[in-house]
Each structure stands twice: as C-alpha cells, then as structure tokens.
Chain A
C-alpha cells in the first residue's frame, strides 16, 4: 500500500520562529517528492520539489532521507502569510499519480 504520513498539527508558532515538518512514505521505490501548499478554502499549489541533495528556496528548505524514508520541510523566519496546510506528496513511479499526505496545518501568530 502506498501511503504518505504526516503529523496533522496544528503547529502554532510566533512570527519569526523556525518550524519543521516531517513526512514519511511507505515505498522505498519512490522516485520524486514534493511539498504542496494549500491555503484555507483554496486549491493546493506546488511549493517546491524535494531533491536528493536537499534544496532551498528562500526561507524554505526541503530535505530527503531515502534510508529512513522521510522528507522534511523547514521554514525559517515564519511570516503570517505562511499560515496554511502543507501537503507532502510522493510520486511512486512515473506511471502512477501522485500520492498526497493529509497535510500539516501551520498557524503563524503575531
């Protein structure tokens, strides 16, 4: 069974804090990994891809640990606008659809 597990949260953090989310996946043959962001009552949108060597996009850093089958998202210097649900997404193979986790909810508080 192809599953993606996330802590649902919510994570309530003050502005400026650093927060990290983890996500585990069930199949070691997984090929590609992503983080999607979903604002309240909106559609999910791609935040960033996750590469084996780890990658950074501004305040956001994504890391992949294939041996332990987890990926992480680190957000530095949290902003109020970062409040959203972050969905961990796994592409188990090029021929099957993406598998979404249920998401981790983040609230950044002033």
Chain B
C-alpha cells in the first residue's frame, strides 16, 4: 500500500494568515492526488484533484501543488469557514489511501 503522511498534524492560525499543509507519498503517485476538507460531524468535501485543479465552488484562496511524492495545500488567507480537518488521498494505485489528517484551528 502507498502510505500518505501529512504534516503538521495540526495548525492553529489567525484569520488572514497563510498556511501550508504537506502530504508525502511513500512512492510516486504522479499527479493523482486529491485534497478534502472535513468539518466536525460532516462528510469530507472534495477541494482539489489532480494535485492542483480546484473543484467547482471551492474558493480560489485554496491551491494545491506538487507531483510524484511531495504535495502541498495552501490557504492564502485563512477564513473562519476553513476550520476542519484536511486529508490528502492518492488515486494512483489500489488500495486508495488517505493521509492521517491535518486539523486546522482558528486562533
């Protein structure tokens, strides 16, 4: 299985701050990488696919980059609605695997 490792495990930042979450794959996954946001008590929501393509309706302050084994999710100006846990997921091979999550809190 491809192991997906996210860092940090949690981040606390102020409204307006720029934050970056990193996802590293144990082997190359090309650009088959997606990011999700999960709010408490809710299902995950797709944010980014293909490592850098923004899902329809997702605000442009979110962006993704990377290929191969190293990927980043950046929120350029943190907003209150951005709180939640963020997960990366590889679509290169089976079984599909997710990172362990990064919890984003607002100071």
Chain A bound to chain B: no
B-to-A contact residues, CB < 8 Å: none
